[in-house]
A and B are shown apart, each in its own frame.
Chain A
Amino acid sequence: MTAEHVAELASEPVDVVVVGAGPAGLTAATRAANAGLSVVLLDEQDAVGGQIYRAIDRADSHLKHILGPDYAAGAALVDAFRRSGAHHIANASVWEVTRERCVHYVKDGKIGGYQAQRVILATGAMERPFPIPGWTLPGVFTAGAAQILLKSAREVPAEPPVLVGCGPLLYLVGWQYVRAGVPIRALVETTRLEDRWRAKRHLLAAVRAWPSLSKGLQLIRSLREAGVPIHDAADDLHIHARTDEDGVERAAALSFRTNGREHRIDASVFLLHQGVVPNMQFALSLRSQHYWDAAQLCFAPATDAWGELDVPGIFIAGDGGGIAGAQAAAGQGALAGLAVAQQLGAIDLPTRDREASMHRRTIANALRIRPFLDSLYRPRDANRIPADDVIVCRCEEVTAGELRGFVALGCLGPNQAKSFGRCGMGPCQGRMCGLTVTEIIAQARNVAPELVGYFRIRPPIKPVTLGEVAGY
């Protein structure tokens, strides 16, 4: 392959590239394509749906019943997308989006690329890290992982699991398990009385979002009615190991303290969850401006009212821009699609603004419950900023104590700490440790997280092989 041929191959022109096929990506691609633009939707999974509507094409009525009505609602988004004429490329691992809107991906070992007029990033959320002693042991999963196993493989824990942490997704998984007939060993909540008191400040707004609020209350009530043992205000979480009959070291018990009493619960599967945070890898690699959201305890990209970053022509929609849930994501995707369609001359301003107002109402409704949720389910300091002996960087096995040592050596931020100790240099590229590292350094220096900053994120956003890059 000559260099010239390769260069042609790698930059097919297109109006819009959308990265991510969850609710935001689906509605963005749909609206842009319906306006007559050429649209490519790149996603790494087999089928569209993202995480929240994962495997929705394959789900039968029984599974949909277990998963609940919110999941089933995703089917409408998928249908609309299919009818829009947007081009979906599955199993495409996007590894680079440049500031000049080149999008490079790998599929089945072959490279591909687009030169887009506009890019809409819709890569969604990921689980907040939950660095407690023993969190790296086999048998410990995120609650999101449990949902993925249920949706995509119809699998549930073989023995009653322990659910640990806080946040609506944790209760949702529990509720889905109850509906599937899966016994739950215990729900160990970290939410305390003072979280409930603090959240009450936002109760009035929450009550206005009654449908979400009542849904949440119902989840917990169902768990109680199903006889699931519930412990709250748990701290000093510690997952203990044992060596099994095959000689494998794995998770075996969770110890914790609540109301002054020590508890220990034996199990083989532990599902951890303390909220989700934006997946910012692409936005950060573009060096777009980010700000620290003190309510959500994470960084989020700065955008205008349509989701456009300070990098011209690149938009962000959905949880990747700030956690707001699936309904808001669908609305934001539509807004981005409208904005892009207007910018490229496919629709006029009045059309854009008329349709936008409907989506803005949806988004505002969805956002109403957030201050209450963020306050009530605020992850505990000790579970975000762990003790010295806890592994923070799973890939390179760097502990919190080692990080504090780098601060003592003069490290002011995560990038210096990364160069001193390799934390953040492994294949996950800081997804599992980035926020923890920022907060540990902030606490050690006694400054705000926004002054500490975050890892410098660069491509490849997903690993590519030497041979694949050689093909560009």
Chain B
Amino acid sequence: MKHPAFASPDVLVVGGGLVGSSVAYGLAREGAKVTVLDQGDGGFRASRGNFGLVWIQGKGNGLTPYARWSRDSAVRWPMFATALAEETGVDVALRQPGGFHICFSEDELAARENRLSTLQRELGGDYPYQLLDAREVRERLPALGPAVVGASYTPMDGHVNPLKLLRALHAGMQRRGVRLVSGDDVLRIVPQEGGFAAHGTRDTWRAGKVVLAAGLGNCTLAPQVGLNAPVAPNRGQVLVSERVAPFLHYPTLNVRQTDEGTVQFGDSMEEAGFDDFTTTRVLADIARRGVRTFPFLKDVRLVRMWAALRVYSPDGFPIYDESTRCPGAFLVTCHSGVTLAAAHAMRIASWIAGAPIPDELPAFSGDRFGLAAPDADAISVPAH
């Protein structure tokens, strides 16, 4: 069903979260005509449930291109943030002062050394980091509790306000003429002459190219266009405090103070299916670690607790693919939508628009998980 007021877009982006919005914004900057199809107000929405880290250290253990890909995104982030601020007036509060991974035992510290030195070796030395002992880490973070034995620090890490980021991306998309269709679910994507048709519950949209950025929804959509997205939910729970006077000027993996002054505590991982309820046991673990890290936060009030579902591939690394069966169908999925937002807006968008494939990308193909799952509905449901 064509809307006479809108000429057919060049690209349909399925999913308006951080991944879909970054890609759509990037495509619009390349001059493409884009329509984004987004769910309603409910839905699992990983974009509303993440820690806001722009995090490099330790990533890519087992897949070196991921270390390079993440680092490159972090390097591009300031440019990305400036562009968003100039275009939309929204300051996403990017800070990249470096970050700490706090350790509570010598074993933990040794494991960090192992992991980071391996990555440094694989990247030919271009991977700055420091292992800090108990005294050194306290010089940087005086409020640490006595149970902290050290930390790993890299200057590459940072954080951003992920909710402002999503808002900025939406504002940026709007300014560049991206059409945002909210409140429908895409049920089926059908390849056809000249491109693809995406069928929702109420409407159908067509374009020459389609980008699957629907998070957990990619699982069922991908096989419809010859792609493989074996992603599953991985639950993370977070505690958020009231606003406190600024005290923490660096992000750490488990505790960070936001630009608004609230303190976030987190980093749990559970396989709990499609269940985004919090559990007292995990929250208590997170709270205990928080108190051991910064004991003087003991009496700070927690005003929010939430759980969200990460979009997790079997090895935890992103999946970037263009379908060989249906050229023009792209898959973009990861669980680090904040860190990789710059890469998505700049390098992924260019690739989708027709630029040569970035060097790192072949390592992220869905083929690494074996053959694509057959499209379960291919025979039984007629295309309409």
Contacts and interface: CB of A to CB of B under 8 A. Distances in A.
Interface string A406-436: 1001111111100111100111010000000
A452 interface: yes
Interface string B80-91: 000000000000
B302 A409 contact: no
B183 interface: yes
9 contacts: A287-B277, A419-B166, A420-B170, A422-B260, A466-B239, A466-B297, A466-B300, A469-B302, A472-B287
Interface in B24-41: 38, 40-41
A287 B180 CA distance: 29
Interface of B is mostly: mixed
Nearest to B263: A466
B28 to A, nearest CB: 15
A426 B166 contact: no
B298 A466 contact: yes
Q: Which 7 A-B pairs have the closest CB atoms?
A: A413-B41, A467-B298, A470-B287, A472-B284, A469-B287, A463-B301, A420-B167
A187 to B, nearest CB: 37
B42 A463 contact: no
A467 B300 CA distance: 8
A61 to B, nearest CB: 40
Interface string A430-472: 0000000000000000000000110010111001111101111
B337 interface: no
Interface in B173-191: 174, 180, 182-183
B47 to A, nearest CB: 8
B288 interface: yes
Given A287-B277, A472-B287, 5 more contacts: A413-B40, A421-B167, A467-B298, A469-B280, A470-B284
Contacts of B166: 419-420
B284 A471 contact: yes
A222 B277 CA distance: 52
Contact of A99 (B47, B277, B297): B277
A310 to B, nearest CB: 15
Contacts of A471: 284
A419 B163 contact: yes
B280 A96 contact: yes
Contacts of A421: 167
Interface string A247-282: 000000000000000000000000000000000000
B284 A463 contact: no
Given A466-B265, A472-B280, A416 B41 contact: yes
B280 A102 contact: yes
Interface stretch (B120-128, B134-142, B303-311, B359-367): B303-311
Contacts of B300: 465-466
Nearest to B262: A425
Contacts of B249: none
Interface of B: 16, 38, 40-42, 47-48, 163, 166-167, 170-171, 174, 180, 182-183, 239, 241-242, 260, 265, 277-278, 280-281, 283-284, 287-288, 290-291, 297-306
B304 A425 contact: yes
Contacts of A465: 298-302
Given A459-B305, A465-B301, A466-B297, A10 B280 contact: yes
A104 interface: yes
Contact of B303 (A96, A410, A414, A463): A463
A252 B190 CA distance: 65
B303 A452 contact: no
Nearest to A429: B303
Contact of B278 (A7, A420, A422, A459): A459
Contact of B170 (A409, A414, A470): A409
Nearest to A471: B284
B229 to A, nearest CB: 24
A104 B182 contact: no
Contacts of B171: 409
Contact of A467 (B42, B170, B174, B291): B291
Contacts of A467: 287, 291, 298-299
Contacts of A459: 278, 305
A425 B258 CA distance: 14
Contacts of B304: 425, 429, 458, 460
Nearest to A286: B277
Contacts of A409: 167, 170-171, 174
A464 B304 CA distance: 10
A102 B279 CA distance: 11
A415 B301 contact: no
A466 B291 contact: yes
A463 B302 contact: yes
B284 A469 contact: yes
Given A420-B163, A469-B284, A410 B301 contact: no
| Residue among A96, A422, A469 facing the most chain B CB atoms (10 A cut-off) | A469
A111 to B, nearest CB: 9
Contacts of A464: 301-302
Contact of A453 (B42, B182, B241): B42
A472 B278 CA distance: 14
Contacts of A429: 303-304
Contacts of A414: 41
A129 B158 CA distance: 40
| Residue among A6, A422, A458 facing the most chain B CB atoms (10 A cut-off) | A458
Contacts of B260: 422
Contacts of A6: 284
A188 to B, nearest CB: 35
Nearest to A452: B41
Nearest to B281: A472
Contacts of A460: 302-305
Nearest to A287: B277
Nearest to B49: A419
Contacts of A456: 42
Contacts of B299: 465-467
Contacts of B284: 6, 469-472
B105 to A, nearest CB: 17
B252 to A, nearest CB: 15
B170 A412 contact: no
A410 B170 contact: yes
B310 to A, nearest CB: 17
Given A415-B48, A460-B305, A469 B182 contact: no
